[in-house]
Amino acid sequence: MSSYATFAELRDARPLTARPQRCAVAGAADAHALEAVMLAARDGYLTPVLVGPAAAIADLLATLEVVEPHVVVDCPEGENPAAVAVRLVRDGEADFILKGGMQTADLLRPILNKETGLNERGFITHFGLMQLGSYHKLLAMSDSAVIPHPTLADKARIVEVCTDALRSLGIDAPVVAALCAAETVSPKIPETVDAAELAAMSERGEFGDAVVVGPISFDLATSREAAAVKGYDNPYAGDVDMLLVPEMVTGNVISKIWNSDPRNTLAGCLVGARVPVGLTSRSASMEEKLASLLLCSLLSAAGAPTTRGVQQ
């Protein structure tokens, strides 16, 4: 089974320089987004397609030290730049979308539009990929930003969509840990019941070659030593590829704790739509923004290629 210890190792194993992915920055009159995409372009894995007021974008670009070849798609005041970005994707002129200086709700509205959007599968979730100083390989994590209280059906869809993403990154037969506070099933702890059912679905082959282990606690999922001490006999203990959190707040808290450690780098995007959608916080470090752009680029490149290009 393939695995990667760092984002640099992942990038080296799956180079994008032959065909950099075209990133439509929705609301590109934003210094943080512009700096991130220009640095990513300098690294050779994306081409910026900047959607927003052309004059404001030009003014901001003039303040940056790094300005790589790019395309500007003028979006007058009053028009939703996300709607323009969605049209670019549908017309084959962009490969994925990055949120720039705009509200998340305004970004998602045209993406989720049933007639003209990008949500053909009918299910979008957040996918995180973490480089942790305390773990031996990149570790994915399920939704920490979109679905507050996933049902069993939601969790099954999350496993399906996120393991598809892992396979796209070259992670064969991904192993998912359905996290709970304990390993025993109890009706008083509903997430343990869900975890056991997901594991049973996995055994029946409902997730393809993906394996779901659960219910399982965080320490047993990520530490062979903890599993040995507790006598937890499972071949996947301490070596999982993804954490399935029981609810959004769990993932959100975990990610913020990890983010406080400078050894760690967290990347994230929305998956399940026709193309990945980057959602980087203005407070995110530049390493996190670049890792998120790399993740989107790799997932985009692994999907169906577009055939029409934007003329510079």
User: For the segment 103-158, what is each residue's pLDDT rounded down to a tens digit?
Assistant: 989 999 999 999 999 999 999 999 999 999 999 999 999 998 899 999 999 999 99
Q: Residue 54 and residue 110: Cα distance in Å, rounded?
A: 21
The answer to whether residue 101 is domain-embedded is yes
Q: Please tell me whether residues 131 and 266 are part of one structural domain.
A: yes
Are 242 and 255 in contact, with CB atoms under 8 Å apart? no
Instruction: Please check the confidence at residue 1 and state whether its pLDDT lies above 90.
Output: no
The string of pLDDT tens digits covering residues 298-308 is 999 998 433 33
> Kind and range of the H or E element at 48?
strand 46-52
pLDDT number for residue 311: 39
Q: Please tell me whether residues 77 and 191 are part of one structural domain.
A: no
The string of pLDDT tens digits covering residues 235-276 is 999 999 999 999 999 999 999 999 899 999 999 999 999 999
Are 144 and 129 in contact, with CB atoms under 8 Å apart? no
Q: Please tell me whether residues 305 and 254 are part of one structural domain.
A: no
The answer to whether residue 1 is domain-embedded is no
Q: Please tell me whether residues 60 and 184 are part of one structural domain.
A: no
Instruction: Please check the confidence at residue 224 and state whether its pLDDT lies above 50.
Output: yes
Q: Residue 100 and residue 30: Cα distance in Å, rounded?
A: 6
Q: Residue 214 and residue 241: Cα distance in Å, rounded?
A: 14
pLDDT number for residue 14: 86
Domain assignment of residue 280, given as a range? 7-120+273-312
Read off the pTM: 0.93
pLDDT number for residue 145: 87
The string of pLDDT tens digits covering residues 59-104 is 999 999 999 999 999 998 889 999 999 999 999 999 999 999 999 8
pLDDT number for residue 312: 36
Q: CATH number of the domain that 73 lies in?
A: 3.40.50.10950
Q: Residue 156 and residue 145: Cα distance in Å, rounded?
A: 17
Q: Please tell me whether residues 146 and 260 are part of one structural domain.
A: yes
Helix (H, G, I), strand (E, B) or coil at 214: strand
The number of domains in the chain is: 2
Q: Residue 288 and residue 265: Cα distance in Å, rounded?
A: 6
